[in-house]
Amino acid sequence: MEDEFNVTYITLGGHVEVHKYRYLYFVIMFTVYLLIICSNSIILCLICIHKSLHEPMYIFIAALLLNSIFFSTAIYPKLLMDFLSEKQTISYPLCLFQFFLYYCLGGADFLLLSAMAYDRYVSICKPLQYSTIMTTKTIIIFLVLAWLLPAAELSGSVLIAYNDNKKLCKFVLNRIFCNNAITKLGCVTSVVNYIYGIIIMMNIALVPILFIVFTYTKILVITYRSSADAKKKAAQTCVPHLLVLISFSTLCVFDVISNRMESAMPKSSVQLIMSLQLIIYHPLFNPIIYGLKMKEISKQLKILHIFVARTKSGPFVIYYEITIQRKMDIPIL
């Protein structure tokens, strides 16, 4: 009887009519995944190639886009395989690993946005000290902490969940991927895991959001007293970050609410669509916002578009020509 509750595989029960629309789902999500990889990679490569974009703000943007690629890769391959499978199942250890990546990379997004907010605060409110504060060492510390802190805290949560849920009473997860709902599969609800989860949410989500609100409030106060040009420059760099923060925070709030109200939210097409928003909207929204709203990135995208239109020799020749002209200080246009 001891092994009665031991289970190797968990059924992902959040899919709606997957057997009927599996190929449609697969084509749509595979296309979205390619768009996410390509759009984020293009801007990421532009930031890496052009020295004019080797500034703290653009480095943090590149890290955020790279994080979006990691986040999507943690979800999409398994999701695509599920669409083509007869049974949508996942092993419990692999589900825990996906849960870990999902929240670890999501927490990294909040911390990277906090680093961007701090960079903008120093740039606008303390311009004379910017070069001494935002050094290469500072940037590296921010980047390491953005990925290391969530990973360290989520590791503890995974260990607690694994130890508490060695015996599972529920074998169906009403989701299309593994998130915090996995903690409800155990026979006993762990108070320790619940409290620890709240602490983690405060550390990697609530505290960064409050910090971002504080820094942008200070920026707003400073720019309100400044000239029209200063206000315009601040808006050009701050608005994209705020748009990304608002969209991502909204999706995270839905994720928390849906997990807390799981019993009151039966499986439906609406729930499936909202779950897909978490893995579609944000990874696609980032490159669009930064590509259109950030002046220097938008400029380089236009240059790249002109080269693609003029060149028939493929992307490697385009990359070579841009690199050579940049090194020789030849105007690209």
Domains in the chain, CATH or no CATH each: 9-298 (1.20.1070.10)
Question: Which pair of tokens denotes residue 245?
Answer: 């923060």
Predicted local confidence at residue 324, as pLDDT: 45
Both tokens of 247, joined, read 């969209």
> Is residue 89 helix, strand or coil?
strand
Amino acid making up residue 117: A
Residue 199 and residue 228: Cα distance in Å, rounded?
42
Token pair belonging to 193: 């895991």
User: Coil, helix or strand for 172?
Assistant: strand
Question: What pLDDT score was predicted for residue 171?
Answer: 80
Averages of pLDDT over runs of 10 residues in the chain (333 residues) are: 55 83 91 93 88 87 93 93 89 89 90 91 88 92 94 80 67 84 74 78 88 88 74 71 79 72 55 74 81 68 62 51 48 42
Neighbouring CB atoms inside 10 A of 314's CB total 9
Burial of 198 (0-12, 13-18, 19+ CB in 10 A): exposed
For the record, the structure tokens of 330 come out as 């030849």
Threshold 0.85, pTM exceeds: no
Question: Quick one: pLDDT at residue 328?
Answer: 42
CA-to-CA distance for 38 and 30, rounded, in angstroms?
A: 12
Q: What is the pLDDT of residue 139?
A: 94
